[in-house]
Amino acid sequence: MFHAPELNSCTLCPRACGAARNKGTIGFCGAGESLRLARAELHFWEEPPLSGASGSGCIFFSGCPLRCCYCQNASIALAQSGIEVSTDRLSAIFHELEQKGALNINCVTGTPYIPHVVYALNCAREKGFSLPVVWNTSSYETIDSLDMLAGSVDVFLADFKYAQEELARNYSRAAEYPRIALRAIKRMAAQVGEMTYDTYHQQTRMTKGVIVRHLLLPGHLDDSCKAVRLLWDTFGNSIAYSFMNQYTSVLKSSAEHHNARACAVLQKYPELAQRVPAADYERLLNFADDLGIEDYFWQEGDPVSESFIPAFDGTGVLSAEQARDSERA
């Protein structure tokens, strides 16, 4: 069984909760000692050079260091979904997604399991695995943990959620997020360097670089503009930007079904029940244009519905043999 000494007193994320995960204690992120995955399948809704027509090989890990109160993936962020697997199984999943035609491997919220992921990637590469690896992160990362990923990750798909400490405190219980995330993105950019692309199965694919995402939240256009300016002043056109209007109020639908947590959050932050006005999103894009940002992705149409949120039902996590055994049990 894989043993990670980093889990003896866990400081993999900035929470530095010190949980003795190797002794059965659960960390702030919701993760224990074992590797847990909620889904491993082709995903077609990332930025074009990551998804292409073939899809990105997305692996959704259970648990999250940030756990934003409005998270559309709350079932995995709160570690309510997921199946325990070995590092050998994770390594096999990398190969299986490559065989399915994935453009890359996309590790979604893998921070609680960095030692497991690095070990599994090394094993996979020894057996011929060759896809670029995308680290899909909230950017709530420590420098030490990012350094553990050096040489294993090729592309960082990084959020920059807030510019203001008050929003970070209210929505993510992490007032220090803006400072930590900006520092983390600087280290990501230093690790992987400038953006590079290749042609893979007749598709343009990003093989190196950083894409920073920013999600416009309802009622907070001002913070979004501050966040974009801060990123621009720091990185200019050395990174790619992705401005998103896909905020989906899963809280609203949960509250309508009398979910106590959702009701409590909306009572405190009623704006999170709203949709993002199209006019606000247009203003954000115009702001980016006025700054001189050349390389950014944007989304057309209305914000997506919950039907576009993946099913965190264990798809692709178990091998065919394991799945059959599970059904018989």
**307 — pLDDT class (breaks 50, 70, 90):** very low
pLDDT for res 231: 99
Residue 298 has pLDDT above 90, yes or no: yes
According to CATH, the topology of domain 37-328 is TIM Barrel (3.20.20)
Q: Using the Cα atoms of residue 97, residue 103, residue 104 and residue 107 in order, give the sign of their dihedral.
A: negative
What pLDDT is recorded for position 295? 81
Give the model's pLDDT for residue 300: 85
Residue 324's pLDDT is: 62
- The mean pLDDT value of the chain amounts to 94
CA–CA dist 152, 115 (Å, integer): 11
Q: Are 114 and 149 in contact (CB under 8 A)?
A: yes
Two structure tokens written together for 196: 């590079």
- Per residue in 262-272, pLDDT (tens digit) is 999 999 999 99
Whether pLDDT at 321 is above 90: no
Residue 323 has pLDDT above 70, yes or no: no
Percent of the chain with pLDDT over 90: 85
CB atoms within 10 A of CB 28: 19
Please, what sign has the CA dihedral across residues 70, 167, 226, 186? negative
Q: Which pLDDT does position 329 carry in this prediction?
A: 58
Report the alpha-carbon distance of residue 93 to residue 189 in Å, rounded: 27
- 144: buried, middle or exposed (CB in 10 Å: 19+, 13-18, 0-12)? exposed
pLDDT tens figures, 4-19 = 999 999 999 999 999 9
